[in-house]
Structure 1
């Protein structure tokens, strides 16, 4: 089995997948010391003093114990960030004086300026609004694609509520899901229905639909096989009947030829009187084949 990431070392950033590293790094820092994350997000503490109504920066020799502890938090934050960067990324931010400056520089480098962020956000919002389930896509693939869009928007500061996401997924389903959409809308409260519960319900329904489709595909094959077998059986019977009929006709024709040969009768020629030819003919016996007498 593969091992997971260490909880004692910050995730290493090597210049790729910044969004993935950023989210993991935020959770790592918050888990280690939330005060360190506040220093990164809000900036370092600068010890000051007020002299004759003017605010002046304290000299290091003038720092009190509280000032020292706050300065230590900034150093701790900078150390954590440095440990999470490879040599190339370290050189990029090595001139920074605070943890916030390091963090902001990495954001601008890999996410762009505010103008770039706004442009990315507009594209993602447009993609979110036009989101629909693709024809050859299943629920699992659709949920992954939708979650990626939502997470990217969240990283850029655009956050949709859970109810908005649930309604968006229901609207994005194709027409064949209309019955399930109606059932969910009537049976569940969309205000409290989570996105995970919705995807779970849709996946269950998808499995049931696929199972029914497979059963329907198997049944016609069986019927077709029975029909083909019955059809072949009918064909064989028809062929057998035709053969028997031909054989019967052949036997009857042979009998007819034998009778014709046995009588030896001469049919009247054209123009000859049928009555006269019958009188002049010498009768032939049917049984012994001799002339002079006959037997019916």
Structure 2
């Protein structure tokens, strides 16, 4: 697939986690595609064989953690070659990572850190993202992260994302749970955030749920350990009323339910919104 060709419509998928392996196979009719965490399959021949078996049933999209598109230091070519090998193994329609940095000056941060929101930095990040996309030979989508310290800058977060997109032809992976959490923690309107984005660049959506902290004075934490909230579903409906996307992906990283029907309900709700435009 060429970098500028339209991406395929994948439907509603689930983040692949080893704890869910058997239940994913048992409920394949409910899952249109899978997203994998690329880093768990790098330099792992057994893992790649497992991915190829899954790929016989599901389209697979690699979601990476360590491209560090916001770093100033040079790209990690070895890491990118590993990502490309995973993407090639499953003929991935696109690859994604985060609009953040995870290392600087040789120091691995172990977390997704927000970038400085300036026009100059946006142009630099866009050039770097474009270079990554060309190296991978596949469309690169950048995801908005949760952040708990709001760094001062001349741009809002939405304006920063839009400015990066102005200077590259990558796409956006819009995490609506991250958006809802940031809006609550930092006191902005998530609908106004969406209005400030170039929505025609949003190719994929992440949905997730987080257990409430229970104290309105504490920050909400992004934990991916609960069902998708009504707020996130409403944001999905609002988005899809304005812009169709190529894939909706449910993430569940912890608090795995004994009854997989809990996850199936989230998948079905997302599919219903995709088809009808409104949540129940």
Q: Identify, as 1 or 2, the structure richer in strand.
A: 2
Q: Identify, as 1 or 2, the structure richer in helix.
A: 1
TM-score range, shorter chain: under 0.3
Greater relative contact order (Cα 8 A, min sep 6): structure 1 or 2? 2
* Larger CA Rg, structure 1 vs 2: 1
TM-score by length of 2: 0.22
